[in-house]
Structures are given as C-alpha cells and as structure tokens.
C-alpha cells in the first residue's frame, strides 16, 4: 500500500511536469491538461458571452485555473508520498501530538508548505529519501512560479502582435487602399510587411496556443474580423499589373493559407478551405 501510494503520487507529479513542458517549452506541442482547461473555459464563456468574452476574462481565467490545477496536482502527488510515512518518519514541533497529525490532510499541509517554499518547520521529514523529496518539491514549486511568469511574458506579447496586425489591416481597409492604389512599388513593400506579420502570428499560434482563447475586444483590433480583408488584398494584388505587387500578393496569400492551416489543425477542425476556416475563426470569436 505504501509503495502504491508513492507510485501514484510520483505519476501525478510527472504528469504535471510533462504538461508544463509541452505547454511552455516545446514550441510545436501543447500540454493536454492545459489545452483541455483553456478550451473548456472558452466554450463555457460562449454560453456567458455577455460577460466573459467581451470583458476579456476567458483567457486570463483559463490560465489561472491551469496554474492552480498544476500546483494542486503536485501538492496532492507529494502528499501521497508523505502520508504513508507519517508520523514515524517525521519530526513534529513541541506541542503537536504526532498521532493526531498523521492523516491525509496533514500530509497535504506539509506538501503545500513545502511547495510554496514557506518552510514553517512544524512538521518535517526525517528519513533519508523523504528529506530529499521535500527540497525537490520546493524546487518544483519554484519552477512552477517561474513557468507561470514565463507563460505570461510569452502570451501577452503574442496578443499584442496579433492585435497590431489587426489594427494595421483596419487602417488599410478604412483608407480604401484598393485597386490602382495597390499597383505601385510601395504597395509591394506593404504587402510584404503584411505577409511577414501574418507569418509571425502563425508562429505565435504554434508556440503560444493559449493566445487563441483570448478575446480581442473591439473590431478594429480583432484579427478574426480583419482576415477577410487581408484575403481580399491578396486577391487584388494577384490581378495587379506590377510584377512586384503580384509576387508580394502571392507571398501574402501563402502566409494566410499557412495561418488557416494552423488554426484549423489546432483549434477549429473544419477541414475547409482558408475562407471557410477564417469564417469559422470569426464565428468562434463572436465576429
């Protein structure tokens, strides 16, 4: 029974570490637990769209829940390793009766104190491998804190790049930069810049998949609302007389196709052409 609980606890800790690794440090994968939580919060927010999505709460709420679940699973996993060895392999502070503080809640308390690196010292392990496990759990707690900060510092710049691209497209649409206005050397450079920005957003969706579950707010900074116009620009550039504009338009079209592929493979699962994928993306974000 002792080793069975220890193995279950170790499996829970390893499961969380794997999920953290695939969520934060593996650029082409996404953790299964974090993906499930973020998607569930996003779907739930669609039923409460009058509050969560327009207020931009779905994404941040999902991230907070993911971090809380990571910490809770690690704490429970280590508690399962501590519990079978209590009270014999633990030292208790004066005033604490070992026999009265050897239950599962006490093991969870020790685990939480260790994970948070508080080091209160009222209940501490004294046997060999448990004395090693405690500082290792503290290291995991510090790693979770660092990972959370790195996650935030990665996701929010990705959101800023996505919204900046949407705003740029909105500016062009409102300036009515179409037809002959696109048939110039300057337009070729503009289309190249747009293609580059779309490619960066595509990479952001690959590396920070959680950014998909953030609501962008007003239409002029919402990429789902602007992608149809970007497609129209690529179509108009394909009909331009200027060869550089046609080449740049083709690059923009290819970048948009790649973005549609990533959106469909990772989030939407429509199996449609890029136009259909962008329409589903807009619908999923309330556009």
For 235-241, which contacts have Cβ atoms below 8 Å and span 24 or more sequence positions?
Answer: 236/178, 236/179, 236/182, 237/182, 237/187, 237/191, 240/182, 240/183, 240/187, 241/183
d(C-alpha 30, C-alpha 25), whole Å: 9
Q: What integer pLDDT is reported at residue 43 of this predicted model?
A: 86
d(C-alpha 254, C-alpha 260), whole Å: 10
Cβ count within 10 A of residue 200:
15
Q: What integer pLDDT is reported at residue 249 of this predicted model?
A: 92
d(C-alpha 189, C-alpha 172), whole Å: 14
Which residues, 6+ apart, have CB-to-CB distance to 198 below 8 Å?
Answer: 165, 230, 252, 255, 256, 258, 259
First to last CA, the chain: 55
Q: What integer pLDDT is reported at residue 187 of this predicted model?
A: 85
Question: pTM of the full predicted structure?
Answer: 0.85
What is 195-240 written as a DSSP string? HHHHHHHHHHHHH-GGGGGS---SGGG-HHHHHHHHHHHHHHHHT-
pLDDT along the chain (287 residues), means of 10: 86 92 74 86 72 68 93 96 92 89 93 89 88 93 91 93 95 75 80 96 92 88 93 90 90 97 94 95 86
State the burial class of residue 13 (Cβ atoms within 10 Å of its Cβ: 0-12, 13-18, 19+). buried
Cβ count within 10 A of residue 224:
22
Q: Which two tokens stand for residue 182?
A: 């696109």
Q: Which two tokens stand for residue 119?
A: 């080091």
Q: Half-sphere exposure (CA, 13 Å, Cβ side) for 1?
A: 3
Cβ count within 10 A of residue 217:
14
Q: What integer pLDDT is reported at residue 160 of this predicted model?
A: 95
Main-chain dihedrals φ then ψ at residue 125, nearest 5 degrees: -70, 145
8 Å CB contact between 110 and 93: no
Characterize 228-240 residue by residue with b for buried, 16 or more Cβ atoms within 10 angstroms of its Cβ, and e for exposed: bebbebbebbeeb
- Rounded to the nearest 10°, the torsion over CA 126, 130, 131, 135 is -140
């Amino acid at each position: 029974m002792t080793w069975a609980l220890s193995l279950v606890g170790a499996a829970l800790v390893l499961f969380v570490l794997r999920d953290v690794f695939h969520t934060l440090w593996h650029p082409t994968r996404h953790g299964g637990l974090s993906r499930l939580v973020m998607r569930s919060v996003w779907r739930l927010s669609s039923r409460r769209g009058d509050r969560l999505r327009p207020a931009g709460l779905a994404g941040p709420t999902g991230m907070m829940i993911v971090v809380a679940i990571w910490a809770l699973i690690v704490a429970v996993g280590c508690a399962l390793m501590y519990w079978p060895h209590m009270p014999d392999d633990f030292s208790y502070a004066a005033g604490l009766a070992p026999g009265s503080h050897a239950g599962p809640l006490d093991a969870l308390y020790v685990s939480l104190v260790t994970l948070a690196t508080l080091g209160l010292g009222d209940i501490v392990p004294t046997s060999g491998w448990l004395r090693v496990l405690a500082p290792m759990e503290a290291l995991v707690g510090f790693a979770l804190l660092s990972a959370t900060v790195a996650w935030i510092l990665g996701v929010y710049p990705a959101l800023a790049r996505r919204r900046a691209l949407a705003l740029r497209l909105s500016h062009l649409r409102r300036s009515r930069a179409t037809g002959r206005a696109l048939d110039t050397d300057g337009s070729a450079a503009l289309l190249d810049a747009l293609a580059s920005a779309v490619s960066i957003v595509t990479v952001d969706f690959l590396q920070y998949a959680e950014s998909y579950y953030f609501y962008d707010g007003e239409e002029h900074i919402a990429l789902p609302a602007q992608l149809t116009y970007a497609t129209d620009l690529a179509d108009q550039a394909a009909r331009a007389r200027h060869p550089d504009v046609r080449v740049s338009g083709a690059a923009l079209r290819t970048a948009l196709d790649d973005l549609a592929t990533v959106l469909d493979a990772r989030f939407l699962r429509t199996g449609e052409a890029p136009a259909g994928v962008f329409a589903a993306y807009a619908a999923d974000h309330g556009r």
